[in-house]
Structure 1
Amino acid sequence: MSSKDITYIALFTSLTIVFAIIPPIPMPLVPVPLTLQTLGVMLAGLVLGPRLALISMALYLVIALVGFPVLPGGRSGLAVFAGPTGGFLLGFLPGAFVTGWMARRSMQLAQGQRSGAQIFASNLTASILGGALTVYVIGVPWLAMVTDTPLSKAVLAVAIFMPGDVIKALIAAFVATRLAQLMPAAGDRQ
């Protein structure tokens, strides 16, 4: 890993921390607040690629696990990971990886020859499927298990987050597309 890779990992870990400390919005019917953390997951995947995005999110979670108050509401530690939001946090790992993998795979299939609109559409798809849906696949069953709620009710309860996640995916896709146009080498990350 180069010093440039380490710098990018640290940058996106820090960016995710900044998104997390923006005050969370409590949501009715579900013990999981609305945060901007998944925007960090999406951006890391789109800009860094699967491997570096995974490392960046792992670093973020380790920082939280050892006790630094980098989770929404200034929380940290093992108890948070064992609670209702723990599955969503763990979902950041495959979420960042899948987002990055999908964005890179789309670029490989197009052999780098795509318009800005095509890049945006690929980035948007990767953000929704990787940065949101993949996180839900881990987080929702965890939420159901921890809160002793039927899975179907947990799915309905988190549906309130979907519009916000689509907005975050649109922002991530726009930013990553713009970065790819300004710095084409950024699209070559592993």
Structure 2
Amino acid sequence: MKTKEITRIALMVSIIIVLGFFPPIPISLLPVPIVIQNAGIMLCGLLLGKKNGTIAVLLFLLLVALGLPILAGGRGGLAVFFNITAGYIYAYPFSVFLIGWVSEKFNVKNQHLGYGFIITFVFGALFIDICGAIGVSVLSGVGLLQSLTGSLAFIPGDAIKAFVAALIAQRLSKMLT
């Protein structure tokens, strides 16, 4: 692995950590808050691709597991991998891989902004929301349909996060090449 790749991975981990400093916004439909941090996860897949993006997110999750309070709301430690938000957290590396894989396959960096948005929204926002809803259903005893319905509250904000991530990635990818 080249120094340039290691530096980009470290910078992306830092961005994800900084986005975790934004306080979570509680909603009444689910026991899961709205967070900005997953925008960094989406951006990671677009900027770093499937391999380095996944490495960056796994490194971030390792830091969380070691107890650093870097998840939104100042959470960290092994307990977060077994609580109500675990489905969302487990979806992060798979989401980054999918975003990176699809964006590499269709060469999104040289395409219209809409392609990056669609890929980020489907394989980032929707994928994370569905996995998270499944996790909420399993860990809380709430029915899957009710959990998925509650997750609809995340869609408007996630659409904005996916658009911003695609926009930033499009602008930065021109500078990073």
Which residue is 2:3 aligned to?
3
1:24 alignment partner, SS class: coil
**Which entry has the higher C-alpha Rg, 1 or 2?**
1
CA contact (8 A) 2:130 2:148 kept: no
**What 5-or-longer segments of structure 1 have no aligned partner?**
186-190
Match of 2:130 among 134, 137, 141: 137
Is the contact between residue 99 and residue 127 of structure 1 (CA under 8 Å) also seen in structure 2?
yes
Query: Among 148, 151, 154, which residue is 1:155 paired with?
Result: 148
2-structure distance, mates of 1:65, 1:161: 25
User: How far apart are 1:119 and its partner, in Å?
Assistant: 3.0
Percent identical residues: 36
Give the superposition deviation at 1:180. Answer: 2.8
Q: Check whether the contact 2:87–2:132 (CA below 8 A) recurs between aligned residues.
A: yes
The 5 A counterparts of 1:47-62 are 47-62=47-62
What displacement does 1:29 show?
2.0
| 1:146 alignment partner AA | L
How far apart are 1:136 and its partner, in Å? 2.3
What is the alpha-carbon root mean square deviation over aligned residues?
Answer: 1.4
So what's the TM-score if we normalise by structure 1?
A: 0.88
Aligned with residue 172 of structure 2, among 173, 179, 185 = 179
Does residue 16 (structure 1) correspond to residue 16 (structure 2)? The answer is yes
Q: Is the 8 A contact 1:98 1:134 kept in 2?
A: no
Aligned AA (1:60)? F
The AA in structure 1 aligned to 2:135 is W
Which runs of 5 or more structure 2 residues have no equivalent in the other structure?
none
Name the residue aligned to 2:69.
69
Runs in 1 of length 4+ with deviation above 6 angstroms? Answer: none
Aligned residues: 177
| TM-score normalised by L of structure 2 | 0.95
The range that moved more, 129-138 or 152-161, is: 129-138
CA displacement at 1:130 relative to structure 2? 1.5
Q: Deviation at 1:138?
A: 2.1
Contact 1:100 1:126 in 2 (8 A): no
> Are the aligned partners of 1:50 and 1:100 in contact in 2 as well (CA < 8 Å)?
yes
